[in-house]
Structure 1
Amino acid sequence: MHSASDLRMLKYKKGWDSQGQVMENAKLHRVLIVDDEENVLKALKRTFMEDGYRVDTYTSPFDALGFIEKERVSAIISDFKMPGMDGLEFLLKTREMLPECVRVILTGHANLDTAIKAINSGAVYGYLTKPWDNDEIRIFLRNALKNYELERENRKLANLLDMRNKELEEANKNLETRVKEQTRFITNQFNKLKATFMETVKAFSRTVELRDPDLGAHMGRVAFLSRSIAVAMRLDGQTMQDTVVAAWLHDIGKIGLPDVVLAKDEKKLKDEEKGLLREHPALGELCLKDIPGFEGVSTIVRHHHERYNGSGYPDSLYEDHIPLGSRIINVADTFDRMLYSMGYGHPELVDKAWSYIKGFSGKLFDPDVVKALGDVEDLWRRSIKTLDIARKVGIDRLEPGFILAEDVKTKSGLLLLPKGVRLNDFHIMRIKNFHRAKAIKGWLLVLKQAGK
């Protein structure tokens, strides 16, 4: 039978820790002991070697420093009082050389205050007093080395984390570079797509101009007014784009209408002709709706003749049921047609058209859109004053001073008058003679400079 003391000693000899578990990694640790007394060194070495540690001893702190320069140790136990260099000074030097190792000072009761101050300053892990108890000193070192292992593992984890953070930072930089490259690529593709989109709009616009130059010019002016209104109303980017593009193309459905319908004033159309004219918004939608990117545009085109009070066509929509872009184009389209029919640039006629729009605000027209048109009044008044407006004028309505906006040719291709000629009485008489002979069409495209 073993006494309790014998069992405790047996645990230590087998390398057990204070919880009764074998300390299997004891051989991994090297312990350095420095003391100027040989008998102290021998006693401590014997005690720690029984637990499986590798132990090195020195009586001189200077020799011990030389050893540390070449070898790594897990723990250093140093006597406090030694000739030439005390233990605290020695341990401070070892902290510079091996900052991670466990440093323990061996002291008598007389130097206990100094040892405690050293612990509080972080210079040493702890202290042992002379004389010592072997059981306690074993437990002390074992716990100290466990702390050493934990700190070393923490440092490894910290280093690993730091390395991973650097790798992540580098990966983020690479990702940022790739994102920038991809963004540039997408931006370039978007710009190409946008350019293609606008080229499609221009192609449609040119098609309308070829069919009816006057109609093409009207659509351009409506686009200018619509954009000005949209800016004043601070529309979002997509709504503004759809509105302006729809304004450029709002009358595209008219390219399928007969010349006789296009040439007449809407008020003079017969009922059957009015029915044909009222089909053009739906025809315009039909032209555009299946083109990618024109979904919103086609809807605006369909409803640009709806009236705020529901009296418009083709669907008799009213108020906010009408797309905002359609409400904007409706005001711009009506305003431009009134100016065109009365003559651009005459202040009293411009005022009359503007009064008409304001007078039907909240009835035929969206009041918010009318207000926005008023907000940009200076802009469109300046624009009107500087425009040379190409207009279709019937042969019987030609006047001296009109400037030809196109070549006048017979149906057989004979050039009568070139583009740019300012008409006089002789020119007009000659044109009328050819018209009576049915050699030329019944109208000409002329410029009548604004304000004249």
Structure 2
Amino acid sequence: MLCVDDEANILSALRRLFRPAGYRVLCAEGGAAGLATLEEEGGAVDLVISDMRMPVMDGARFLAEVRERWPGIVRILLTGYADIESTIAAINQGQIYRYIAKPWNDAEVVLIVREALERQALVREKLRLEALTARQNEELKVLNAGLEEKVRERTEALRQAHERLKRSFFTSIQVFANLIELRGGNMAGHSRRVADLSRKVAAAMGMDGRQCNDVFLAALLHDIGKIGLPDALLAKPTNKMNGDELGVWRKHPAKGEQVLMALEDLRAAARLIRSHHERHDGQGYPDGLRGEAIPLGARILALVNEYDGHLHGTLTGTRSSADDARRLILQGRGKRYDPAVVDAFLALFGAPPEPPVNELALTPALLSSGMVLARDLISREGVLLLAADYVLDDNLIRQIREYEVAEGTRITLFVRNPEG
């Protein structure tokens, strides 16, 4: 601390008072000397005690100068009772911490100085901590900026890795799908066509992204259960298979599910594969499910799969035009296929056109001997009953009518228009 007074005895008294407390006490006889001492110390003084009445430079002026040049130093004024106006000036100009009236009480002065220095220490610690905090905050900003960049880099790397895994996953699915098609014949490209169209129908029916993806995967892999079937059976239309062959054939949906169930990402698709030969009227396989008991994705896959089969002749051995294939789908509405799925499917293409003018659409009750079939007559199971160009006779018409009654469903036949 620095004690400033023009009276040597006051300085000696202050020195004796504070030395036992362990303080380093500097003394200066007057304001100019006090400023010089502070210059020499580089401002490294914690507290200044100055007398008010001093020649040339009084205490108020001295402390105001100290405040101006070293604002961190605690300032205390010694003053007499008669110096009240000067004291007020010192308070206003020098913004002193406390003033001590002469004559002072030693214990009180020591206590005031100790409290002032403790306060000064707290202020300095506060400033140190604030500076430390500010520095650490800056360091954290730099660190966070670096971390954010690293996170962005890592996120991008993970995204790219995820994309690679996804591509690899779909590539693997394509490989599985191609295994059955590598055996040639009219199966080539079937799975991809069914997958693309099934996904469009699923989206048109409001299924979400994950559900559409499951339908797409199931369509790609719906024939995976056929891998173990003989080539001869794969090449034979279902309407030409005998009972034993149909029994073997109808196991492939369940086998396809079994092959894929171990893969967690394909379990939903595997369930669709199991049910893709179920029928809306409950006469499908392998479980005989009916209506909404069949998963929606499987109902979609069943329709699109048979639509592609009509186009490429895998169901009957005879290829159908797109218009004829859509007419066959429409005929199965409510029987083979879910009406809502049929409607969504046809909405993608528009309703099938009316039969050509050289064809008549008739029920069995309107048939007569000598009429010629314009199109194949297909059963609900996809079995070819009569081929196009077949000439009807009374006996055959009677069998068709009996078949309609036995099946409990309405049959529409297309015959040539003799006036066309």
Matching residue within 74, 77, 92 for 2:46:
74
Other-structure match for 2:403: none
1:65, CA displacement in angstroms? 3.1
1:54, CA displacement in angstroms? 1.2
Q: Does residue 1:151 correspond to 2:118, yes or no?
A: no
1:244, CA displacement in angstroms? 1.4
1:144, CA displacement in angstroms? 1.2
Q: Does residue 1:343 correspond to 2:320, yes or no?
A: yes
Q: Does residue 1:64 correspond to 2:34, yes or no?
A: yes
TM-score (norm 1): 0.63
Matching residue within 280, 287, 292 for 2:252:
280
* C-alpha contact (below 8 Å) 2:329/2:342 kept by paired residues: no
d(CA) in 2 for partners of 1:85, 1:306: 110
Which AA in structure 2 matches 1:66? A
d(CA) in 2 for partners of 1:340, 1:152: 90
Q: 1:89 to 1:109 in 2, by over 3 A?
A: closer
* C-alpha contact (below 8 Å) 2:185/2:235 kept by paired residues: no
* C-alpha contact (below 8 Å) 2:281/2:290 kept by paired residues: yes
Matching residue within 172, 197, 207 for 2:169:
197
Which AA in structure 2 matches 1:159? A
Unaligned 5+ segments in structure 2 are 314-318, 353-420
* C-alpha contact (below 8 Å) 1:330/1:365 kept by paired residues: no
d(CA) in 2 for partners of 1:228, 1:322: 19
1:223, CA displacement in angstroms? 0.9
TM-score (norm 2): 0.67
* C-alpha contact (below 8 Å) 1:205/1:216 kept by paired residues: no
Other-structure match for 2:274: 302
Q: Does residue 1:184 correspond to 2:148, yes or no?
A: no
1:224, CA displacement in angstroms? 0.9
Q: 1:273 to 1:73 in 2, by over 3 A?
A: same
* C-alpha contact (below 8 Å) 2:225/2:256 kept by paired residues: yes
Matching residue within 137, 142, 162 for 2:109:
137
Secondary structure of the residue that 2:26 maps to in structure 1? strand
d(CA) in 2 for partners of 1:319, 1:58: 107
Other-structure match for 1:218: 190
Identity of aligned residues (%): 38
Deviations 1:261-306, CA, capped at 9 Å, x for gaps:
4344434433322222211112223333445744443333223233
Matching residue within 111, 114, 139 for 2:86:
111
d(CA) in 1 for partners of 2:292, 2:133: 59
* C-alpha contact (below 8 Å) 1:243/1:297 kept by paired residues: yes
* C-alpha contact (below 8 Å) 2:60/2:87 kept by paired residues: no
Which AA in structure 1 matches 2:172? T
Q: 1:111 to 1:242 in 2, by over 3 A?
A: same
d(CA) in 2 for partners of 1:125, 1:370: 92
Secondary structure of the residue that 1:211 maps to in structure 2? coil
d(CA) in 2 for partners of 1:259, 1:141: 107
What is the alpha-carbon root mean square deviation over aligned residues? 3.6
Other-structure match for 1:51: 21
1:236, CA displacement in angstroms? 4.9
Q: 1:229 to 1:91 in 2, by over 3 A?
A: farther
* C-alpha contact (below 8 Å) 1:34/1:77 kept by paired residues: yes
d(CA) in 1 for partners of 2:331, 2:113: 101
* C-alpha contact (below 8 Å) 1:109/1:129 kept by paired residues: no
d(CA) in 2 for partners of 1:114, 1:82: 15
Deviations 1:32-81, CA, capped at 9 Å, x for gaps:
12334444433333322242211112234344333323421111223455
Q: Which is worse superposed, 74-83 or 272-281? A: 74-83
Q: 1:146 to 1:328 in 2, by over 3 A?
A: farther
d(CA) in 2 for partners of 1:111, 1:260: 121
Other-structure match for 1:313: 285
* C-alpha contact (below 8 Å) 1:33/1:58 kept by paired residues: yes
* C-alpha contact (below 8 Å) 2:4/2:29 kept by paired residues: yes
Which AA in structure 1 matches 2:164? K
Secondary structure of the residue that 1:78 maps to in structure 2? strand
* C-alpha contact (below 8 Å) 1:305/1:330 kept by paired residues: yes
Secondary structure of the residue that 1:54 maps to in structure 2? coil
Other-structure match for 2:99: 127
Secondary structure of the residue that 1:256 maps to in structure 2? coil
